[in-house]
Structure 1
């Protein structure tokens, strides 16, 4: 099951649940965070909580993604802290983000997993900005959809460079044997409180060879892993760095 958030034409946010190709707006909640807090309060899993709510109209997520109406798959109220860890670990590698919320008992309630990538803020395009979180001088790009449940044992994906609609570079991503052999360690910040959001980034993939092709203005960087739903993409804007250097 996949969860995402969309921004409607009237400016409101809604939560979308998808199973296969069928995607529906969930009634009764306006954000993934609100859905998670309902689950925690009621002592239910996300799937159980969703089944207790009604669905509204079906939506075409691919169409909404093309219209840039998808936003970060989870956000938070202004009075809640969001903690991001794993920023100094293999920064240039594609990542998986484990998203959790601190429950009333102090334990982490796992929401799910999504694709992620770290880039300097100035390289985030206008199109990708709604899917990014500002962390210091960097931006963490999150995939449009959260995969709920356990992390798949087998993850295969691709990292592509697209120019004028044509793929000019593609490399396959496969899990690192060390990651498979040793489980991840979950941790909380000592200053965390109930209802805080945790995003733990980790790099489970084998290192790949950097492409020989240079990025040009308008090229699209795309990270795609089928189990995690819609791809994470960001049009390249190298001229933004050049403009800042001249300023």
Structure 2
């Protein structure tokens, strides 16, 4: 089952369920967040909860997408209680991509390569215990979450704005503090790779950018291997197109290990919160020498996730001199 949300006639989120080619409104005025919290409270799967509510008439998701009415599949009524985070160096091949950005000599082993080796050796322990920690980063709150079709706005001080095609896990925290995975969705973990390349310690700065998730959320387990395509469209032309692989068969960490090392912190188990946690990628147009421009459209698609995720880049003219942010003294 695939779940999505769009802006209904009353201005509220309307949840849509799809199995196969047909999509139907769920017989409820509740958002997917509200439905997920209800299911988490009763111990019911989100699929069973939705089927128990029933379905209304069919909807045309592609038409809603063209109208710009699709929302991220899971949101929070207070964006400050939605956390955008992720992990890096989790995919086979991701270390060579990262190392090429930071190493001047091929024979130099970077911190990225060492972190990757740790994941290969201990990221899938398979014995019920936690494996090695992955690289982890913070992107922001729900204020940085962009709907499908919405612009990914690069700040004027940014040195670059590039896509990262990823799969994200979407979670609610139950009233008892238990993390509950609602499902998986495509994500564009938009980042500033030029800033990151200057110095590895700028990674945290490079990640503080908006990101897009959706349009549809896959309920259930993630397939062992997922193959998708990442594109950049410039006008009528495709200036970049490359396949990407995800799923545990193509990763150095298990999903459960990545989840553990995020949710082991009490901070991330606050009842009622939403988490969008991105699992990394090994495919970047930046690594192939592509520099996205204002108006370019990023397009990410993979069969199990339904509609593609498309977002234009909005990049203002670069500032010749970065002005100081105004601070008022009390």
CA contact (8 A) 2:36 2:182 kept: yes
What is the CA-CA distance between 1:103 and the residue it aligns to?
Answer: 2.2
What's the TM-score once normalised by structure 2's chain length? 0.62
- The alpha-carbon distance between structure 1 residues 241 and 227, as it changes in their structure 2 partners (threshold 3 A), is farther
Q: Identify unmatched segments of 5+ residues in structure 2.
A: 89-134, 138-162, 193-206, 324-330
1-structure distance, mates of 2:32, 2:245: 29
Matched, 1:110 2:181: yes
Moved over 6 A (4+): 243-247
- The alpha-carbon distance between structure 1 residues 181 and 202, as it changes in their structure 2 partners (threshold 3 A), is closer
Q: Once the two structures are superposed, what CA deviation does each residue of 1:140-164 show, in whole Å capped at 9, x if it has no partner?
A: 2112111110011110011111123
Deviates more, 1:157-166 or 1:210-219: 210-219
What's the secondary structure of 1:86's corresponding residue?
strand
Equivalent residues in 2 for 1:29-178, closer than 5 Å: 29-78=29-78, 81-86=81-86, 93-119=164-190, 137-175=208-246
- The alpha-carbon distance between structure 1 residues 165 and 177, as it changes in their structure 2 partners (threshold 3 A), is same
2-structure distance, mates of 1:82, 1:208: 26
Q: Identify unmatched segments of 5+ residues in structure 1.
A: 122-135
Match of 1:8 in 2: 8
What's the secondary structure of 1:151's corresponding residue?
coil
Q: Once superposed, what is the RMSD of the aligned Cα atoms?
A: 2.9
Match of 1:125 in 2: none
User: Greater strand share, 1 or 2?
Assistant: 1
Aligned residue-pair number: 231
What is the CA-CA distance between 1:245 and the residue it aligns to?
Answer: 6.5
User: Greater helix share, 1 or 2?
Assistant: 2
- The alpha-carbon distance between structure 1 residues 83 and 216, as it changes in their structure 2 partners (threshold 3 A), is closer
What's the TM-score once normalised by structure 1's chain length? 0.81
Match of 1:193 in 2: 270
What is the CA-CA distance between 1:224 and the residue it aligns to?
Answer: 1.0
